Amino acid sequence: MRPSALALVALAFSLLGSACGTAYIANTEIPDNEENREVWDRVMEYRKAVETRDADKLLGMVSRKYYENSETTDDSTDDYGYDELRDLVIADFRDNVLEVQYRLLMRRIDSDGDRASADYEYYYSFKYVEGGVTGWKPKNDFNRLEFVREDGVWNIAGGL
């Protein structure tokens, strides 16, 4: 084979190889499959509800099985479930947060049957009122939302 023909054959094989490779969700290293896409969409729905301060939408995305240990597995005094989330956390968010800017960078999605998790880095800044004083609070950190599939829908079971 001549060098130019050999180059064309190599190019053809490399194109075929890349065509059969794994597709990823845009701007991530997360495989783009049906289950990952469902979780991804749910996380983006959550992000939008936070940014628009839609407390009812947020609560509607949460499983009644919700449980939060506040990242202190050895201290149960700060743990809470759905009722406390609804009555305290969501109520505080609704009543005291005036504006939110919220960006997420998805890092990983894992799913196993009816449970899934989404790991992401976030950047937020929110305007709040507390004791009659208004201020802004910025933060950059990592988080994991835990999901449970209920009636065909991924609902948040932990991580808010």
Q: Tell me the per-residue pLDDT of 83-141, one tens digit each, with 9 for 90 and over.
A: 999 999 999 999 999 999 999 999 999 999 899 999 999 999 999 998 889 999 999 99
Is the distance from CB of 138 to CB of 124 less than 8 angstroms?
Answer: yes
d(CA 151, CA 65): 14
- List the structure tokens of 88: 């305290």
Given a cut of 80, whether residue 64 has pLDDT beyond it is yes
| Most confident region among 1-5, 45-49, 90-94 by mean pLDDT | 45-49
Is 120:142 a contact under the CB 8 Å cutoff? yes
Asked whether the whole model's pTM tops 0.85, one would answer no
Q: For residue 106, give both structure tokens.
A: 């998805």
Location of structure tokens 């937020």: 124
The phi and psi torsions of 36 (rounded to 5 degrees) equal -60, -40
Please report the sign of the dihedral spanned by the C-alpha atoms of residue 81, residue 83, residue 89, residue 94. positive
Token pair for residue 107?
């890092």
Please determine, for residue 74, whether its predicted confidence score (pLDDT) is greater than 70: no
The pLDDT score that the predictor gives to residue 75 is 53
Q: Angle at CA 97, nearest 5°, toward 92 and 98? A: 145
CA pair distance 158, 65, nearest whole angstrom: 9
The arithmetic mean of pLDDT across residues 49-67, rounded, is 96
For 15-151, where are the E strands, in sequence order?
67-68, 80-81, 97-112, 115-130, 133-150
User: For residue 60, what are its two tokens?
Assistant: 């509607």
Q: Where are the domains of the chain?
A: 25-158
pLDDT over 60 at 53, yes or no:
yes
The answer to whether the CB of 47 falls within 8 A of the CB of 139 is: no
Task: Name the class of domain 25-158.
Answer: alpha beta
How confident is the model at residue 32, as a pLDDT? Answer: 94
| 11-46 residue pLDDT tens | 455 554 444 568 999 989 999 999 999 999 999 999
